[in-house]
Amino acid sequence: MKSLTAALCLALAPVMGAQAQSPRVDLSDVDRLQVLAGASDVLARAPDVDVDRLFKAVHAASRDEGEARGLCALFEPDADRSLAGLQRAANALGEQSRMRFIDAVSAVVVNGLQAPPRGYDPAVGEQALKAATVTGMMLHDGFLLGLSSTGADAASRHARCTAFRQMVDVLDGFGLAERVAATRYLLSEGLARYGGEL
């Protein structure tokens, strides 16, 4: 666990110290096996306020058309979700968004390592996500179609990205507990499904 912290902190330290120049994310020295070994536990222990801070970083980036495209690219079936791919996606964001992500991820890692174990019920997060999906369908025409779109053509990619942005917007209107439960659930599912691609 301490080696995970060291690896991530070493990767983020130069970025956080770069006050005079545009911050960049460099994950080239991070050991993917260390990340995989401890990420789920860190995420489960991370305080709600830090998980919500990470959600807010995603929400802020999703509101910008160009930055949203970079985030959406990570959800494509053929996406590069390796550490190098995540690094490219992070560095494609604007400077303020990058700093928000760096600060949020740092808080999740550091405080997640220090926090005691907490009860986490994935069913609560799944339920919050279902509620957000229902709300999205009521608010936005074509929401479910976009969310379930599987095509590789430009129209399908655009529909998926639009639905992603709408979903994040809906979740932003939820209370803290529901929003955090949904975020924790999505991150946990992402690690379980795509962690091997790091």
Do 138 and 179 share a structural domain? yes
Residue after which a domain boundary falls, among 67, 82, 114: 114
pLDDT of residue 8 exceeding 70, the answer is: no
Determine the structural domain holding residue 147 and report its residue range. Answer: 122-197
- The C-alpha atoms of residue 89 and residue 76 are separated, in whole angstroms, by 13
Per residue in 81-123, pLDDT (tens digit) is 776 777 787 888 889 998 898 888 888 888 888 888 888 889 9
Do 86 and 16 share a structural domain? yes
Residue after which a domain boundary falls, among 63, 92, 114: 114
- This model's pTM is above 0.95: no
Per residue in 183-195, pLDDT (tens digit) is 999 888 877 776 6
Element housing 70 (H / E): helix 65-73
How many distinct structural domains can be found in the chain? Answer: 2
- The C-alpha atoms of residue 106 and residue 112 are separated, in whole angstroms, by 9
Do 151 and 109 share a structural domain? no
